[in-house]
């Protein structure tokens, strides 16, 4: 794309063997990534996982230690930020405080000597529904308005690639929800390639077509949000995207359809296709909402895993659902979410229960079982508190 | 900025800082010159000038006058300026804009005008020039700088702290001396140090209002034509070293305090 | 930095029940009155006194230095006729020195305020070096330059040896030497306020500029420089105002000669030596009025009106 014309659609982004080492630590290890044109791609991970560094390398604000960056098939690794067809919505928005809103938006257009910068800027302002604040200074706007101006300032340039650096982080919950929907709508309207960096799994899943989960400088797993959630490949993904109950055990039998794992004497079956390892010691898991509680021992049936009896150690009600902690000898604590379809909890603290889930809901991880984070066994007060907080947060965000 | 540009800027800055230091180093070096009458040509290294500073009696008298003037002017300006600064931030009153302008103008007026104006008034009033007139002049131009410095500190002070003091049964007087004043103290000290430096180094205003009284800068100005004794360099160098030590101590304590606060 | 602190900042009052409005205004009066009265007496009244003096007429049959109050506006015509070169020289030298100090000080302030951010200790040290000149008599510093540039000094010697200067040429006593001295003297006054505004500059704005297709130079011009304007304005005022009234550098005993005399020199001569007080006063008034007009226009043009 030449400097003086608008891109008409997004372009592919390709990272080839990109790594970034800072003195003392490695931010990114050998990253290969292709983001097809026109997609909404999210890089998801905890702080310090290298996602922001990746974004800054794409924007040209950092130089990769090794590897190449290609946009629309063109190598831009050595191009300076201002030479790249890329725009960023910064986490802090970085709206120029000495310019009016409209001048902020027209800034990039003026630099590229595009005709009628003010007209185009006004159009962009209309897109984010802020025509009435054109002459104000950024400091006179609310957080949500600033965010929209930052977005308008970036998309008005019709970049081949739009980078979003946790742009919703500073907004409160309700506004964030609203902006998520608007962002997605705008992306559909302008048809650009969006690369969105966030640590908010909910945000990544609602907005992106494709999510890449990053951890310690590597991409752990990449795919559509449903796929990542339903078939996590690693313990990290299983726990970073929602919650999971994970068990370790030895494969005792396997068929074409499934493998059977012996977990402390319980027989847990997992579909072969949903499992990364098929022999030896393996780690398997199931999502809390997939588990059913039973007051009496259920009749064994094919296609159903049953464990129990265990004791309910905690019941916490949160409106839509109730979360139960069930302690099972040998297995540790298992979390179960149940929809509140009837009034009050189904079972109470101290009661004896059995758990069951459909075989096709289980998944097998590629991690060694001994490397499993000990979520199940963590029953000291601190981790319970932390878990409860996490839970509350996800529920709050769902509200 | 990457690569070449950054190095060029670093090299440039080193050169610029060196340039700033040249006459300072020159002055210090020549305080060790074995000069006889004039201290222009290097004649060899000696400690004599440092050991017998008051051999040049005039220099020492002028220096003593400068210290007296700076101390008294600093005290007066700091008290008056601090009071104004507190009033400006904490109270609303009529003529506020006029007051601000009155404080701004002395800083925007060239020293010759300040000096000539005051001298014209002393002349009209028939006041004999001397130490007192110098002190009056110095206090006048220091007040504005004190107000500016202290005012920044008052403005950054959370009024809730004083309210908390009142809430905890402090009388207005107790609240001021036990809460407001200690919190303002760093700003007041900074203002006092600035005043002292301004007064000590002032020449132009002094020249118009000193009569026959000598201050250190005035001595140098008068002696410049026939040559400055090396003892003047000694005094200037000693003041310089003392000031640098104070600045470094303040910097280090500040850094240490910030670190302590950060650790908490 | 001094001017920057003069921005408006209405702070919340600390009204409480016991302190009624009358009591409050009495406290404010008590705090303000001594200082304001002092400034009125020793700053405002002298200015008026200066104005009155500038119109004075020589006493009939009086001695030198004896004048009576009058309205001799011809005094102004006379000083302008006599000293126009000095007046023009003053503002010319001051303007050149201000521009030079800005050119020298800005990159230095940028390096210390931006590039040295990651090294706080080095930054603090560099800052101490910038303000070091404040701690040593400016007269001695100027004399040091005089001796370095003297005819028998090292610089002239070297230039003579390289045949870049003839035997009859001098450095001291020339306009260039005076401008050099003024520039040197005010570099810290220029550098410090610019440093203060650059040190607070959020570098993410610079990144955003690069992201929006501005080259480093364009980013500097459109983002960094405007955001550091308050510092630049403070620095230029802190340089231009005292420089135009300075008479040390231009003095014969320092870096100047009779051909380089500025307003300050003639005010001093008229006041302290010739005892021609009306002329000195008229020159002072002209200097102050010109500066107020120039500064007012400059502040308005640079768009930082919240300065006062």
In the predicted model, is pLDDT for residue C89 greater than 90? yes
Chain B residue numbers touching C268 (CB-CB < 8 A)? 112, 207-208
Is residue B249 less than 8 Å (CB to CB) from chain C? Answer: no
3-state secondary structure of C70: coil
Residue B42's pLDDT is what? Answer: 83
Domain boundary among A200, A230, A260: A230
pLDDT at residue C307 in the model:
43
**CB interface of B with C, residues 33-62, below 8 Å:** 40-41
pLDDT reported for residue C305: 45
Q: Which residue of C has its CA nearest to B5?
A: C216
Long-range contacts of B73-76 (CB under 8 A, 24+ apart): B73/B135, B73/B138, B73/B139, B73/B142, B73/B195, B73/B199, B74/B142, B74/B192, B74/B195, B74/B196, B74/B199, B76/B135, B76/B139
Name the most confidently modeled range: A176-185, B73-82, B83-92: B73-82
Rounded average pLDDT over C111-123? 90
Q: Determine whether the interchain pair A87/C227 forms a contact, defined as Cβ–Cβ distance below 8 Å.
A: no
Instruction: Please check whether residue A3 lies inside any domain of the structure.
Output: no
Instruction: Tell whether A363 is covered by a domain.
Output: yes
Above 90 in pLDDT, residue C287? yes
Residue A114 in domain: yes
How would you classify residue B201: left for phi > 0, otherwise alpha for psi between -120 and 50, otherwise beta? Answer: alpha
Nearest residue of chain C to residue A3 (CA atoms): C213
Q: What domains sit in chain C, N to C, each tagged with a CATH number?
A: 83-307 (1.10.3720.10)
Do A157 and C215 count as a contact with CB atoms less than 8 A apart? no
Contacting residues of A for C208, CB less than 8 Å apart: 88, 90, 94-96
CA distance B118 to B133: 9
Cα separations in angstroms, B132 against B73, B196, B209, B211, C268: 10, 16, 9, 11, 21
pLDDT score of A381: 53
At the topology level of CATH, where does B57-228 sit? MetI-like fold (1.10.3720)
- ipTM comes to 0.87
- Min CA distance, A106 vs chain C (Å)? 10
In angstroms, the separation between the Cα of residue B160 and the nearest Cα of chain C is 9
Same domain, A177 and A319: no
Disruptive mutation site among C32, C112, C142 for chain B (greatest number of B CBs within 10 Å): C32
Strand, helix or coil at B36?
coil
Q: Mean per-residue pLDDT for C46-62?
A: 88
pLDDT at A171: 74
Contact B236 C136 (CB under 8 A): yes
Is C211 close to A88, i.e. CB distance below 8 A? yes
Mean pLDDT lowest for which of A231-245, A256-270, B244-258, C68-82? B244-258
Is residue A325 domain-shared with residue A354, that is, in the same domain? Answer: yes
Strands lying side by side in the sheet with A245-254 = A266-271, A258-263, A245-254, A281-286, A363-365
d(CA A303, CA C215): 63
Interface touch C212/A97, C-beta < 8 Å: no
Residues of chain A with pLDDT under 50: 1-7, 374-380
Cβ contacts of C70 on chain B, cutoff 8 Å: none
A111 and C207 in contact by Cβ < 8 A? no
Of A81, A94, A108, the CB nearest to C204: A94
Q: What is the 3-state secondary structure (H, E, C) of chain A?
A: CCCCCCCCCCCCEEEEEEEEEECCEEEEEEEEEEECCCCEEEEECCCCCCHHHHHHHHHCCCCCCEEEEEECCEECCCCCHHHCCEEEECCCCCCCCCCCHHHHHHHHHHHCCCCCHHHHHHHHHHHCCCHHHCCCCHHHCCHHHHHHHHHHHHHCCCCCEEEEECCCCCCCHHHHHHHHHHHHHHHHHHCCEEEEEECCHHHHHHHCCEEEEEECCEEEEEECHHHHHHCCCCHHHHHHCCCCEEEEEEEEEECCCEEEEEECCEEEEEEHHHECCCCCEEEEEECHHHCEEECCCCCCCCCEEEEEEEEEEEEEEECCEEEEEEEECCCEEEEEEEECCCCCCCCCCCCEEEEEEEHHHCEEECCCHHHCCCCCCCCCHHHHHHHHHHHHHHHHHHC
Q: Is residue A65 part of a domain?
A: yes
Residues A293 and A314 in one domain: yes
- State pLDDT tens for residues C174-195: 999 999 999 999 999 999 999 9
| CA distance, residue C224 to nearest chain A CA (Å) | 10
- All residues of chain B having their beta carbon less than 8 Å from the beta carbon of residue C263 are 112
pLDDT at C61 over 80: no
Q: What domain range is A318 assigned to?
A: 243-398
- Scan for tokens 């310090």, then name that residue: A48
Residue A182: predicted pLDDT: 81
The contacts of residue A235 (CB under 8 Å, 6+ apart) are: A244, A246, A283, A285, A365, A367, A371, A372, A373
In a 10 Å sphere around its CB, with 0-12 CB exposed, 13-18 middle and 19+ buried, how is residue A318 labelled?
middle
**With an 8 Å Cβ cutoff, is C208 touching chain A?**
yes
Residue A356 lies in a domain: yes
- Among A24, A81, A92, A138, pick the best mutation site for testing chain C contact (most C Cβ within 10 A): A81
Q: Which residue of C has its CA nearest to A113?
A: C213
How far apart are the CA of A86 and the nearest CA of chain C, in angstroms? Answer: 7
CA-nearest residue of chain A to C202? A94
Residues of A in contact with C217 (CB under 8 A): none
Same domain, A310 and A247: yes
Nearest CA in chain A to C225: A98
Residue of B nearest to C49 (CA): B121
- Quote the number of domains for chain A: 2
Burial of A364 (0-12, 13-18, 19+ CB in 10 A): buried
Q: Is the pLDDT of residue B240 over 80?
A: yes
Interface contact C211-A111, CB threshold 8 A: no
CA dist C43 and B120 (Å) reads 11
**Nearest chain A Cα distance for residue C46, angstroms:** 41
pTM score, two decimals? 0.82
CB neighbours of residue A273 within 10 Å: 12
Phi-psi region of A250 (alpha: psi -120 to 50; beta: other; left: phi over 0): beta
Chains that touch C (3 or more CB pairs under 8 A): A, B
Q: Under a CB-based contact definition with an 8 Å cutoff, are residues A206 and A51 in contact?
A: no
Q: Does A325 map to a domain?
A: yes
A14-45 b/e with 16+ CB inside 10 Å = b? bbbebbbeeeeebbbeebebebeebbbbbbbb
Do A267 and A380 belong together in one domain? Answer: yes
The CATH code of the domain that includes A28 is 3.40.50.300
* Cβ neighbours of C285 in B, within 8 Å: 113
- Give the whole-angstrom CA distance, residue C143 versus residue C251: 11
A160-169, C19-28, C279-288: range with lowest mean pLDDT: C19-28
Residue A344 and residue A346: Cα distance in Å, rounded? 7
Domain final residue pick, A179, A203, A230: A230
pLDDT in tens, B133-142: 999 999 999 9
Residue that is written with structure tokens 């068929």 in the block: A255
| Residue where a domain stops, chosen among A230, A253, A278 | A230
A210 lies in the same domain as A252:
no
Asked whether residue A221 falls in the same domain as residue A251, the answer is no
- Where residue A359 sits, what CATH number does that domain have? 2.40.50.100
What is the token pair recorded at C237? 């005022």
């Amino acid at each position: 794309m030449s400097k003086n014309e608008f891109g008409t659609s997004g372009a592919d982004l390709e990272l080839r063997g990109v790594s970034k080492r800072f003195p003392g630590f490695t931010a990114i290890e050998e990253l290969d990534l292709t983001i097809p044109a026109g997609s909404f791609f999210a890089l998801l991970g905890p702080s310090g996982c290298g996602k922001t560094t990746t974004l800054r390398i794409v924007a040209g604000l950092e130089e990769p230690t090794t590897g190449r960056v290609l946009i629309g098939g063109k190598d831009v690794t050595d191009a300076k930020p201002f030479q790249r067809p890329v725009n960023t919505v910064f986490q802090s928005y970085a709206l120029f405080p000495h310019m009016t809103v409209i001048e902020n938006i027209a800034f990039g257009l003026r630099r590229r000597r595009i005709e009628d910068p003010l007209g185009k800027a006004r159009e962009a302002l209309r897109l984010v529904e802020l025509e009435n604040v054109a002459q104000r200074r950024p400091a006179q706007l609310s957080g949500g308005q600033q965010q929209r101006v930052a977005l308008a300032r970036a998309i008005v340039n019709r970049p081949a690639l739009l980078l979003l650096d946790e742009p919703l982080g500073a907004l409160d919950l309700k506004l964030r929800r609203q902006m998520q929907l608007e962002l997605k709508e705008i992306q559909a309207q302008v048809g650009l390639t969006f690369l969105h960096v966030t640590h908010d799994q909910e945000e990544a899943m609602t907005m992106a077509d494709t999510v890449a989960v990053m951890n310690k400088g590597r991409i752990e797993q990449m795919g559509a949000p449903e796929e990542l959630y339903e078939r996590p490949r690693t313990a990290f993904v299983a726990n970073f995207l929602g919650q999971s109950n994970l068990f370790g055990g030895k494969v005792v039998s396997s068929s074409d359809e499934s493998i059977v794992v012996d977990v402390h004497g319980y027989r847990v079956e997992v579909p072969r296709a949903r499992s990364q390892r098929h022999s030896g010691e393996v780690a398997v898991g199931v999502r809390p909402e997939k588990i059913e509680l039973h007051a009496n021992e259920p009749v064994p049936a094919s296609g159903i895993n049953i464990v129990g009896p265990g004791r309910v150690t905690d019941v916490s009600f949160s409106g839509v659902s109730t979360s139960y902690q069930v302690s099972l000898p040998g297995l540790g604590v298992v979390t179960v979410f149940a929809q509140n379809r009837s009034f009050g909890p189904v079972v109470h603290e101290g009661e004896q229960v059995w758990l069951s889930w459909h075989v096709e809901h289980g998944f097998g991880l590629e991690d060694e079982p001994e490397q499993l984070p000990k979520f199940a066994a963590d029953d000291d007060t601190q981790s319970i508190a932390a878990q409860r907080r996490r839970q509350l947060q996800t529920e709050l965000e769902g509200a | 900025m990457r690569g070449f540009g950054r190095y060029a800027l670093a090299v440039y800055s080193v050169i610029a800082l060196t340039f700033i230091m040249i006459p300072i180093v020159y002055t210090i070096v020549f305080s060790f010159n074995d000069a006889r009458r004039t201290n222009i040509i290097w004649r060899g290294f000696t400690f004599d000038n440092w050991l017998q500073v008051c051999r040049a009696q005039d220099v020492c008298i002028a220096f003593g006058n400068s210290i007296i003037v700076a101390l008294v002017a600093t005290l007066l300006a700091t008290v008056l300026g601090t009071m104004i600064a507190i009033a400006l931030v904490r109270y609303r009153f009529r003529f506020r804009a006029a007051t601000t302008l009155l404080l701004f103008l002395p800083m925007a007026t060239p020293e010759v005008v300040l000096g000539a104006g005051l001298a014209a008034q002393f002349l009209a009033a028939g006041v004999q020039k001397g130490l007192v007139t110098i002190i009056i002049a110095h206090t006048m131009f220091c007040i504005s700088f004190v107000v500016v410095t202290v005012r920044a500190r008052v403005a950054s002070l959370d009024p809730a702290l004083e309210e908390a003091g009142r809430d905890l049964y402090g009388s207005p007087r107790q609240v001021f001396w036990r809460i407001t004043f200690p919190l303002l103290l760093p700003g007041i000290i900074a203002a006092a140090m600035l005043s002292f430096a301004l007064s000590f180094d002032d020449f132009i205003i002094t020249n118009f209002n000193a009569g026959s009284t000598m201050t250190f800068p005035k001595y140098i100005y008068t002696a410049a034509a026939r040559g400055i004794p090396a003892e003047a360099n000694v005094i200037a160098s000693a003041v310089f070293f003392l000031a640098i030590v104070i600045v470094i101590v303040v910097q280090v304590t500040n850094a240490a305090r910030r670190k302590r606060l950060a650790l908490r | 930095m001094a001017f920057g602190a003069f921005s408006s900042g209405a702070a919340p009052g600390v009204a409480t029940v016991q302190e009624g409005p009358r009591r409050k205004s009495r406290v404010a009066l008590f705090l303000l009155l001594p200082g304001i009265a002092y400034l009125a007496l020793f700053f405002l009244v002298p200015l008026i006194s200066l104005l009155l003096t500038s119109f004075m007429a020589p006493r009939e049959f009086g001695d030198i230095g004896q004048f009576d109050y009058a309205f001799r506006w011809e005094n102004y015509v006379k000083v302008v006729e006599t000293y126009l070169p000095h007046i023009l020289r003053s503002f010319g030298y001051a303007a050149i020195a201000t521009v030079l100090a800005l050119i020298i000080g800005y990159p230095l302030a940028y390096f210390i305020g931006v590039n040295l951010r990651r090294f706080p200790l080095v930054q603090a040290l560099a800052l101490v070096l910038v303000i070091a000149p404040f701690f040593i008599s400016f007269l001695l510093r100027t004399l040091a330059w005089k001796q370095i540039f003297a005819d028998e000094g090292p610089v002239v010697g070297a230039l003579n040896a390289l045949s870049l200067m003839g035997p009859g040429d001098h450095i001291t006593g020339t306009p260039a030497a005076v401008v050099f001295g003024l520039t040197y003297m005010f570099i810290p006054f220029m550098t410090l306020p610019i440093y203060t505004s650059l040190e607070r500059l959020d570098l993410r704005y610079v990144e955003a500029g690069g992201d929006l297709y501005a080259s480093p130079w364009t980013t500097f011009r459109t983002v960094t420089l405007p955001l550091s304007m308050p510092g630049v304005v403070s620095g230029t005022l802190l340089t231009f105002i005292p420089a135009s009234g300075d008479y040390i550098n231009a003095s014969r005993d320092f870096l100047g000669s009779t051909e380089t005399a500025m307003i300050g020199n003639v005010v001093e001569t008229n006041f302290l030596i010739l005892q021609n007080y009306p002329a000195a006063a008229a020159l002072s008034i002209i200097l102050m009025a010109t500066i107020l007009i120039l500064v007012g226009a400059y502040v308005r043009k640079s768009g930082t009106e919240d300065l006062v």
